[in-house]
Amino acid sequence: MIEKAVSYWQQAGERSKARSAMTEAIVQMRRALDLLSHLPDTPGRQGTETDLQLALGGALIAAKGHAAEETGRAYARARCLCKSLNDTPNLLKALWGEFVHYHVRGETDRSHRIAEDLLDLAGRQNDAAILVAGHRAVGDSWLHRGQLALARAHLERGLAMYDPELQRSLTALFAENARVAMLSFLSLTCGLLGFADQARVQSNDALAEARDSSHPISLAFALSVACRLHFVLDDADMVGRRAEELVALTTEQGFAFFLAMGTAYRGWSLAEAGDAEAGVDLLRRGIEGFQASGAAWTLPFYLAQLAAAEANAARFETGLGQLSDALALTQKLGVRWFEAELHRRRGELMLMARPGAAAEAETEFRHAIAIARQQEAKLWELRSAVNLARLWRDQDKADEARGLLAPVYGWFNEGFDIRDLKESKALLQDLWV
């Protein structure tokens, strides 16, 4: 019966390679697991089940998302089997799966502990391939917790250690190519740190690597993070282009999780282009799909996109409510990379919605600047400084405005074509008049 189970498993692998038909692959793996469940609980049966559960976890990430309950069950079962068998190499893989499951669900304290355990155990075992995964996991975790310098260090270390020969066999386990993922997250990290040119190069490299690999889930991953990067850089046209490709790819491949993200990005870009109602509708559909997968870790970010679309429709109070929800979620989840920008956006909307809200808005801008400085997020610091400097200019405080904005703007040495730096330069020139 083990031989028949393995046959189903092999059929699953061939199906997924031939047509990226993850749904069919998952059906075959479940059949194999069902057959194994009727066999005596021997080490041989447990070893076969371990391999199957790990493979199933990777397939479920593609089909249902990292945060899906079934994805978590597959990796949890694999971890239990590995401990029973004292199978450290596969335990490392199971830990990876549990990290990404809890990370995407927004259980950041739990996922961060797993990531550090993974990196520590991989180091003690001297497992080079899993060490890369460990640095990727810890770097990803620090990024979303708002510790950008730590994130950059781990992601760069993982990239330096990356060996395509060692990693090739693990792509199915990780769902996406590890180099693509690390380059993608490094691009977002560098963008937030204030290195827009480097960020765009890294994002383009991730996309090129994904296309060259002919691996659809890696391309979906790279496109989704590219959308996020260009949203951060306030480039609506590029977000729209990447989102269109992401939606087309994920619709064809049946990647529901990434399709939900692409739908949300399309909605925001439509709202920015002037079609606020269609944009709000797509954003709501994307957020619903994102939540349906069990994901939560970037929900505050998508709520901010929805708030921006509502503001484009002049529904300022609705947008403020969504930003308040996003901030409450940020506190609950501990996903702080977007926290400064949420405060800045709330201050901005207060000025639009409520006459006489200057003092409240100034508090929000100051809070945003303080958070950005703590995180070394120079892009967020600059953007918030522009808002506060404008407010002070309008209050005839030009000297204070210059004193705030000039040092932040002067720090930058690249990315002068992005909107934030153009607006900062124009505002400083105005303040000198």
Structure tokens at 258: 């990434």
- For CA atoms 419, 422, 426, 431, give the dihedral sign: positive
Whether 155 is covered by a domain: the verdict is: no
Whether 192 is covered by a domain: the verdict is: no
Residues 350 and 359: their CA atoms lie apart, in Å, by 10
Domain count within the chain: 1
Which pLDDT score is estimated for 127? 81
Whether 409 is covered by a domain: the verdict is: yes
Q: Which of 37, 32, 34, 27 is CA-nearest to residue 9?
A: 32
Residues 145 and 159: their CA atoms lie apart, in Å, by 21
Residues 245 and 33: their CA atoms lie apart, in Å, by 36
Residue 335 backbone dihedrals phi, psi, to 5 degrees:
-95, 100
Helix axes 339-353, 299-312, angle to 10 degrees: 20
Over residues 308-348, the pLDDT tens digits come to 999 999 999 999 999 999 999 999 999 999 999 999 999 99
Which pLDDT score is estimated for 92? 84
- CATH number for the domain including 420? 1.25.40.10
DSSP run (H or E) holding 65:
none
Structure tokens at 381: 């610091």
Coil, helix or strand at residue 368: helix
Residues 433 and 430: their CA atoms lie apart, in Å, by 5
Helix axes 398-411, 419-431, angle to 10 degrees: 140
Which pLDDT score is estimated for 204? 98
Whether 139 is covered by a domain: the verdict is: no
Helix axes 178-193, 128-145, angle to 10 degrees: 30
Whether 94 is covered by a domain: the verdict is: no
Residues 52 and 44: their CA atoms lie apart, in Å, by 13
| DSSP, res 414 | S
Q: Are 192 and 412 in contact (CB under 8 A)?
A: no
For 250-310, give the DSSP string: HHHHT-HHHHHHHHHHHHHHHHHTT-HHHHHHHHHHHHHHHHHTT--TTHHHHHHHHHHHH
CA 117, chain centre distance (Å): 21
Whether 346 is covered by a domain: the verdict is: yes
Which pLDDT score is estimated for 21? 61
**Amino acid, single-letter form, for residue 308:** A
Which pLDDT score is estimated for 60? 87
9-26 burial, b for 16+ CB within 10 Å, e for fewer? bebbeebbeeebbbebbb
Listed as ranges, residues in the chain with pLDDT below 70 are 1-22, 169-170, 172-174
User: What is the CB neighbour count within 10 angstroms for residue 147?
Assistant: 20
Whether 401 is covered by a domain: the verdict is: yes
Residues 261 and 263: their CA atoms lie apart, in Å, by 5
Range of the domain at 365: 338-433
Residues 352 and 16: their CA atoms lie apart, in Å, by 51
Whether 406 is covered by a domain: the verdict is: yes
Residues 375 and 146: their CA atoms lie apart, in Å, by 6
Residues 147 and 335: their CA atoms lie apart, in Å, by 10
